[in-house]
Structure 1
Amino acid sequence: MLKNYCVLFLLISTLFACSDEDKNTLMIVPLPQYVEELPGQFEITKKTQLFVHDQIVKYIAQTLSDKIESTSHFKLSFSELYPENNYVTFLVDTTLQLTDEGYVLEVSESGVEIKGKDMAGVFYGLQTLLQLLPTEVESPKFVQRMKWVVPFVKIKDEPRFKWRGMHLDVCRHFVPVENIKKHLDMMAMVKLNTFHWHLTEDQGWRIEIKQYPKLTEIGSRRIEGDGSEYGGFYTQEQIKEIVAYATERNITVVPEIELPGHALAALAAYPEYSCTGGPFKVRNTWGVESNVYCAGKEATFTFLENIIEEVVELFPSPYFHIGGDECPKDRWKECSLCQKRIKDEGLKDEHELQSYFVKRIEKVLLKHGKKMIGWDEILEGGLAESAAVMSWRGEEGGIEAANQGHDVVMTPGNWCYLDHYQGDHRVEPVAIGGYTPLEEVYSYDPVPDHLREDKKHHILGTQGNVWTEYMYTPELVEYRVYPRILALAEVNWTAKEQRDYDSFIYRLDNLHRRMDMHNVNYHIPLPEGPVDKMVFVDNIRIEFSNTWNLRMYYTTDGSKPTEASNLYQKPLIFATNKTIKIATVLNTGKLSPARTIRLVKSEYIDAAKSETTKPGLVENYTVGHFKSSEELDSISDWTERINPMKPIKGMKRDGHEGESASVFTGYLEVPEDGIYEFSTNLDQFYITNQLLIDNNGEVKRFSRNNSTIALRKGKHPVKLVYIKTIKGGWPQAWNGPQVQFRLWGDDEFTTTSEEMYSH
């Protein structure tokens, strides 16, 4: 009889001492529902024959043949008759007592048999077989003397949810076709079946629409804060190519065309469909845009209907995503045509106007046989009758929609937003914010406990949302996505009571090796703890940790750490200057990038003897576009004023107007003797006439260059260099200049205030 995997895990946990080849056994993600492991193994050789009961699944069998051939240079042949032994067979069996996409996989001395409830089930049976084979089956290169062995096993498996997805925003930053295919390959490997493709935004229109060529001629390009042009879009032929590639991997591609908000790129191309008539520029900063489609013009709906007619022809998906989120009502309140629409249709307010807008688009989609899905804001003013909802602002919207009888994809930010930090923001690449480490993602359950029992069937599943504001390259996208999307794959597929985080982390090593074969730039937790520069007076004790509790190796001689270096086991104590390089290592032997921490022995720096009588700092500012603080050295046109470090208003976010630079000077009052850690979003921060923090070249969304200094109580001279510009989509003037400090070892930072400064 088949055994529950909870029993099986007790058996495989004893395999840690086995060879790497043995450790591949049953290291499957997502975890199958039922497994029975048997003694022995079957070897696929050049004499092994493939057999398909149904020609419609032959392409699935061909996938196995192609992978073996590319790595071993022998080709598996197909048999016309069912072989008696040494076979791999593929069969659709609709009588299986499984849900759709379920499968049975049996490996014995005779061969491998895969039965699927449907074609998808056969495909997923193959994915499990591939994970049972040595990781080299994913290699793009020839592998010498490889034995393709599979353990004897019986697996009966089916998914928990229907919608197992990954969302990708290609508007903030464009993702090339080949990189999207890489994501689709990884999705297929872990049985994800829905690719939600976010194609239009304020910052870029990425899909060719033949009837409206200016959408890509104008709407796909923006002028960045540094004056460079950024752009990219997919032709309709490329769209078809990606959809076909996904279909072969049992992945449905759901397009998203944003409306009625997040439409500035479209309005830059066709301003006549706005309330004001423009002109507009494609937005080069992140955030919510107030200019949206005009709901009072009939021409707006004709425009959108024509776009939809072209898009639906490219995507066979039953669902069509219309966005519907973050639509400010400011323009509608001021627009006479929108107000007339509200009056003529008997609507209460602008929220009901949004509902009217969405319901009109729903009728267009129904005419094309499509189901509408949108973010939970489409609940505002009343939900369209056939609509499904993606609940992102928590779970409340999803619960409300499900209770109304609508299908729901649960994707709340606390668990499913893969643009959040997955480690300490001081050491990780800059992100939008939030903190969602791997364990938090894995802990999510898409069915809320307080949802009514008779409504739980409306929860279709969940997905990982990948918003790319701060993912400037395809490699950074991969760094944010993997392995967190793999955790969500198991959340979606495996029964809640069978999931175990420690087991998942152990099995993840198998996928780490496979991602290496696909050249995926996945995240390895970085060593966390001290900042990059640590000063001390007598001696210093420093501790390191990482989010997965992995081993860490370090050096103190400037060399790059390896597994032959010092193993970090307990806090380190030093009494002299040192440079520590430290890295985290996976069980596969792959190391994270090394962090470098400078330990500098120092004396306390005495406070200045100068008397100051006036609060605040002296500001010298100059108007202009500057990329770095070095450019300020040649500027002679400065204006002086007293500015108490309050946010500087007035910068327009869609261009260079209002840009300036400021240099603040004066003194900062330090409350007591101590080692202080400083943090800032400034370009440069000087104290006691030394450059303590240099953020030149950084996107200063969050400070990532904190540093320490030993200071005596009293007033210390400071200089703050602050460039008000747009860097990487982030307007520096958003929060104004900020400096924070804390005694080393304290939990909380203090934000400097006017009262702490003087001149």
Structure 2
Amino acid sequence: MRKSLFRLMCLMGLACSSMASALALTIRPTSSISIIPQPKELVEGQGSFTLTARTPLLAQGDSALTIARFFADKLNASTGFNLRAIASKAPRRGAITLRIDPKLPLGVEGYTLSASSQGITVTGRTGQGLYYGMQTLLQLLPPTIESSTKISGVTWRIPAVSIKDEPTFEYRGALVDVCRHFLTVDEVKKHIDLLSMFKINRMHWHLTEDQGWRIEIKKYPRLTIVGSKRIEGDGSVYGGFYTQEQVRDIVKYASDRFVTVIPEIELPGHAMGAIASYPELTCFPQRRVYEVRNLWGIEQDVYCPGKETTFKFIQDVLDEVLPLFPSEYVHIGGDECPKIRWKECPDCQRRIKEEGLKNEEELQSYTIRRAQKMLAKHGKKLIGWDEILEGGLAPSATVMSWRGEDGGIKAANMGHDVIMTPGSGGLYIDHYQGDSKIEPVAICCYASLEKVYSYNPIPAAIAPDKRHHIKGAQANLWAEYLYTTDIMQYRAFPRVIALAEATWTPQDRKDYKSFERRLNGAYIRLDQHKVNYHIPLPEQPLPGSKASASLNFVAFTDTTSLTLQTSRPITIVYTTDGSEPTAESSRYTAPIKVSESQVIKVASVLPSGRLSRVRAITFDKQSYSPAVSLSSPTPGLCTQTSIGDYYRASELSAVTNWVEGVAKTTQELRPDRVTNHMDEIKRKAVIGEGYIKIPEDGCYVFSTNLDQMYLDGELFIDNTDEVPKFSRHDKSRALSAGWHKVKFIFIGAVRGGFPTYWDDAKVEYRNLKDGKFTEVTAEMLAH
């Protein structure tokens, strides 16, 4: 799913960026040339050019002078120099010359760069090409050139090279979702800076959603008064929006960096931000009280295309939005639109009959075509998700293929332009990039850096004469689980950088091992911008498998060992004396033997010296916890259920309205399932108590998304305030064969957009020496 399913209490805790500059001066990437994206043609020469305080930036023409001033400011910040951009018609010795040559035999974004000991010349076919050439020049300098403050003791040397470069694809995009989690103006600008560093030229800005409306519309003030705020599961109010003036500011900021901002105004689905503000926009405005959705997932109430007033609203909104964005493209969504309301709405059924439509799918296509005409009045082109293919495609629409590649293949073969964004290709970078047991919660799935890098936007199934319709690709960063900007950056980088090379560099020039090496320089550049990028964590493999199932509490009875691996090659360091690991700590080279209780702290370390988050793994030497004797066990768990608006287990001590019962399995502890809204059920808490039968003596790992699990009378697993999804609190215990006392607590709550009623209530276990979890069955439970 493109958009779907808590308040994530997570400290990413990466090494202090104040140390990064000093480390970067002493530890360099393995090659002096670490350009990302890899240029189309690069020839290394002899010698180098040294940037000094006396180096002039000579610009030929007004556009080149503007770009020269931009880069002079960047260079001055880190070098401490006072470099000046000077208008000049001819290059001269010892200078950096910037020029634009419309006759340059490259594409509109192409450039050449020639560097020798005598000087440097950067030529772009357009201003955009010149800008990219200068970004490449920055990457030829030591990576601390990206610092916003003066770095002392560096020789600012540029190796002699000859580069001829242009992108493979014209569309190189990154989606930013500010509806689920809002970014300030400064945070958006910082993200734009990072995109432009690596020649990403489109920012798809997702501005309206079920979970919030984020752009000011002066004709409809309730869109921001009401639609920009939602009440979270804990009762707090979450909100934010951009004024039209702020939008203009951001769009210009991006344009100055040659990033085109493409707005997305969702229709006909994902519209609860608007419907909560103006209920008349939906089919049944009197049916319930409409509120900005505080759950992730898909909303069944959508715009009503049977009412002409709905289209007037859409036209009015677009009339205010479109002048703010120079982009030729505007995204209108078109995805995940349930049609259940349309099927029972007399206005929609009348529209279907009057327009000669076959069904509700064609009604959606009708809605998209009307939106396309509204855009055309402003000279804009429509982009939509691949659902817009259903019921007939608007004639000049561009398709974003997200549900795999099939929609893109079909659209391209029909002669429509396509932008590839499939999750199956790794381009949903809200997915995991490491072991879900230790990574911040994500929606699902796994999108490794290598998978993103390896994606080829042109599937073989597209006819050769239609392949020009593939305009490029985009990485989508949906924000359901991006609770902080740190986590947003952690998901985005370095995978956005991989997408940059995947769409810029020709297929025959791509080399993932080379990319990994060059990434070490890019990390140092990101350090200068204080970016919380992902560093692969040390993970524990399942016995007999390359898959990971990391565990922070390991019970053992005699001796054991700690085996570690990472999702891609990186140095692991560790300590056993309680101290925090550093870049100089012991290197992990083989499994660590453990014979006594202790805490081993582990981290990954980059060549720059920067560390990942530290994992503290507790090893607890135990005796087998004795089983109890049950003379006549009765199947199932005794339960107590209380109807009430609870958020955490600590609230249950004062509860008196318990109703007793029996649950045959742990799954029955979650008594209801929410499909759309929390008002479908009565919220409740459930406690299940009894015994669990352990098959044989051993050290057992338990995993559950229930709020709490007690084992042998002690609180064993505590997911309080956690996202009840992909448990990150697995724990082990040495247990004798037989019956052991257990208690499980289910709290029906919404935490950070995820309701516990969406998840199952299973409890899984495995012997520590085995590699497979097994669900606790009814036969294992008794009271």
* Pairing of 1:602-617 with structure 2 (within 5 A): 602-617=622-637
Of 575, 581, 591, the match for 2:601: 581
Q: Are the aligned partners of 1:24 and 1:133 in contact in 2 as well (CA < 8 Å)?
A: no
Deviates more, 1:456-465 or 1:39-48: 39-48
What residue in structure 2 maps to residue 317 of structure 1?
327
Q: Residues 687 and 339 of structure 1: is their aligned pair in 2 closer, same or farther, counting only changes over 3 Å? A: same
1:405 to partner: Cα distance: 0.3
Distance between the aligned counterparts of 1:34 and 1:197, measured in 2?
33
Distance between the aligned counterparts of 1:717 and 1:492, measured in 2?
57
What letter is aligned with 1:730? F
Q: Are the aligned partners of 2:386 and 2:401 in contact in 1 as well (CA < 8 Å)?
A: yes
Matched, 1:648 2:671: yes
Matched, 1:713 2:723: no
What residue in structure 2 maps to residue 427 of structure 1?
438
Q: Residues 32 and 90 of structure 1: is their aligned pair in 2 closer, same or farther, counting only changes over 3 Å? A: same
What residue in structure 2 maps to residue 40 of structure 1?
47
Distance between the aligned counterparts of 1:22 and 1:62, measured in 2?
29
Q: Residues 472 and 656 of structure 1: is their aligned pair in 2 closer, same or farther, counting only changes over 3 Å? A: farther
1:24 to partner: Cα distance: 6.0
Distance between the aligned counterparts of 2:260 and 2:129, measured in 1?
15
Distance between the aligned counterparts of 2:584 and 2:112, measured in 1?
44
What residue in structure 2 maps to residue 339 of structure 1?
349
Q: Residues 654 and 306 of structure 1: is their aligned pair in 2 closer, same or farther, counting only changes over 3 Å? A: farther
Q: Are the aligned partners of 2:626 and 2:735 in contact in 1 as well (CA < 8 Å)?
A: yes
What residue in structure 2 maps to residue 626 of structure 1?
646
Q: Are the aligned partners of 2:574 and 2:588 in contact in 1 as well (CA < 8 Å)?
A: yes
What residue in structure 2 maps to residue 58 of structure 1?
65
The residue matched to 1:130 in structure 2 has which SS?
helix
What residue in structure 2 maps to residue 4 of structure 1?
none
Question: What's the % identity of the aligned pairs?
Answer: 48
What residue in structure 2 maps to residue 10 of structure 1?
none
Deviations 1:175-198, CA, capped at 9 Å, x for gaps: 111111111111111000000000
What residue in structure 1 maps to residue 5 of structure 2?
none
Deviations 1:286-318, CA, capped at 9 Å, x for gaps: 000000000100000010011011110100000
1:656 to partner: Cα distance: 11
Q: Residues 377 and 542 of structure 1: is their aligned pair in 2 closer, same or farther, counting only changes over 3 Å? A: same
1:29 to partner: Cα distance: 0.6
What residue in structure 1 maps to residue 312 of structure 2?
302
* Pairing of 1:728-747 with structure 2 (within 5 A): 728-747=752-771
Of 613, 633, 640, the match for 1:593: 613
Q: Are the aligned partners of 1:284 and 1:654 in contact in 2 as well (CA < 8 Å)?
A: no
* Pairing of 1:195-344 with structure 2 (within 5 A): 195-278=203-286, 279-344=289-354
Distance between the aligned counterparts of 2:181 and 2:757, measured in 1?
22
Q: Are the aligned partners of 1:527 and 1:545 in contact in 2 as well (CA < 8 Å)?
A: yes
What letter is aligned with 1:180? V
What letter is aligned with 1:664? G
Of 692, 705, 712, the match for 1:681: 705
Q: Are the aligned partners of 1:225 and 1:656 in contact in 2 as well (CA < 8 Å)?
A: no
What residue in structure 1 maps to residue 398 of structure 2?
388
Of 11, 21, 34, the match for 1:27: 34
1:555 to partner: Cα distance: 0.8
* Pairing of 1:366-381 with structure 2 (within 5 A): 366-381=376-391
The residue matched to 1:661 in structure 2 has which SS?
strand
Distance between the aligned counterparts of 2:72 and 2:765, measured in 1?
61
What residue in structure 2 maps to residue 470 of structure 1?
481
Matched, 1:755 2:764: no
The residue matched to 1:596 in structure 2 has which SS?
strand
1:20 to partner: Cα distance: 4.3
What residue in structure 1 maps to residue 127 of structure 2?
119
Deviates more, 1:214-223 or 1:672-681: 672-681
What letter is aligned with 1:649? D
Matched, 1:163 2:171: yes
Distance between the aligned counterparts of 1:145 and 1:710, measured in 2?
56
Matched, 1:398 2:408: yes
What letter is aligned with 2:677? R
C-alpha RMSD over aligned residues: 1.6
What letter is aligned with 1:676? Y
Q: Residues 717 and 554 of structure 1: is their aligned pair in 2 closer, same or farther, counting only changes over 3 Å? A: same
Distance between the aligned counterparts of 1:234 and 1:466, measured in 2?
19
1:612 to partner: Cα distance: 4.1
Q: Count residues with an aligned counterpart.
A: 742
What letter is aligned with 1:144? S
What residue in structure 2 maps to residue 8 of structure 1?
none
Matched, 1:671 2:678: no
Distance between the aligned counterparts of 1:19 and 1:113, measured in 2?
29
Distance between the aligned counterparts of 1:113 and 1:620, measured in 2?
77
What residue in structure 1 maps to residue 17 of structure 2?
none
What letter is aligned with 1:747? G
Q: Are the aligned partners of 2:29 and 2:607 in contact in 1 as well (CA < 8 Å)?
A: no
What residue in structure 2 maps to residue 74 of structure 1?
81
Of 462, 466, 469, the match for 1:458: 469
Q: Are the aligned partners of 2:217 and 2:320 in contact in 1 as well (CA < 8 Å)?
A: yes
Higher RCO (C-alpha under 8 Å, 6+ residues apart): 2
Q: Are the aligned partners of 1:648 and 1:736 in contact in 2 as well (CA < 8 Å)?
A: no
Stretches of structure 1 that go unaligned for 5 or more consecutive residues are 1-17
Deviations 1:625-680, CA, capped at 9 Å, x for gaps: 22322222222332211123324216673569722211100112222322211100
1:495 to partner: Cα distance: 0.7
What residue in structure 2 maps to residue 480 of structure 1?
491
Q: Residues 84 and 564 of structure 1: is their aligned pair in 2 closer, same or farther, counting only changes over 3 Å? A: closer
Deviates more, 1:365-374 or 1:704-713: 704-713
Deviates more, 1:745-754 or 1:485-494: 745-754
Q: TM-score, normalised by structure 1?
A: 0.96
What letter is aligned with 1:531? L
The residue matched to 1:485 in structure 2 has which SS?
helix
What residue in structure 2 maps to residue 194 of structure 1?
202
Stretches of structure 2 that go unaligned for 5 or more consecutive residues are 1-24, 541-549
1:145 to partner: Cα distance: 3.9
1:81 to partner: Cα distance: 4.5
What letter is aligned with 2:461? H
Distance between the aligned counterparts of 1:69 and 1:656, measured in 2?
60
Q: Are the aligned partners of 2:78 and 2:145 in contact in 1 as well (CA < 8 Å)?
A: yes
What letter is aligned with 2:146? E
Deviates more, 1:147-156 or 1:476-485: 147-156
Deviates more, 1:73-82 or 1:39-48: 73-82
What letter is aligned with 1:206? R
Distance between the aligned counterparts of 2:308 and 2:632, measured in 1?
66
Distance between the aligned counterparts of 1:404 and 1:216, measured in 2?
40
Deviates more, 1:746-755 or 1:268-277: 746-755
1:486 to partner: Cα distance: 0.4
The residue matched to 1:136 in structure 2 has which SS?
helix
Deviations 1:534-564, CA, capped at 9 Å, x for gaps: 0111111221111122111111111101122
Deviates more, 1:112-121 or 1:655-664: 655-664
Distance between the aligned counterparts of 1:324 and 1:739, measured in 2?
38
What letter is aligned with 1:177? V
* Deviation beyond 4 Å, 4+ runs, structure 1: 18-24, 654-657
The residue matched to 2:443 in structure 1 has which SS?
coil
Q: Residues 656 and 359 of structure 1: is their aligned pair in 2 closer, same or farther, counting only changes over 3 Å? A: closer
Distance between the aligned counterparts of 1:153 and 1:271, measured in 2?
62
Distance between the aligned counterparts of 1:367 and 1:262, measured in 2?
24
Deviates more, 1:244-253 or 1:649-658: 649-658
1:79 to partner: Cα distance: 4.7
What residue in structure 2 maps to residue 416 of structure 1?
427
Q: Are the aligned partners of 1:206 and 1:233 in contact in 2 as well (CA < 8 Å)?
A: yes
What letter is aligned with 1:106? S
Distance between the aligned counterparts of 1:738 and 1:48, measured in 2?
67
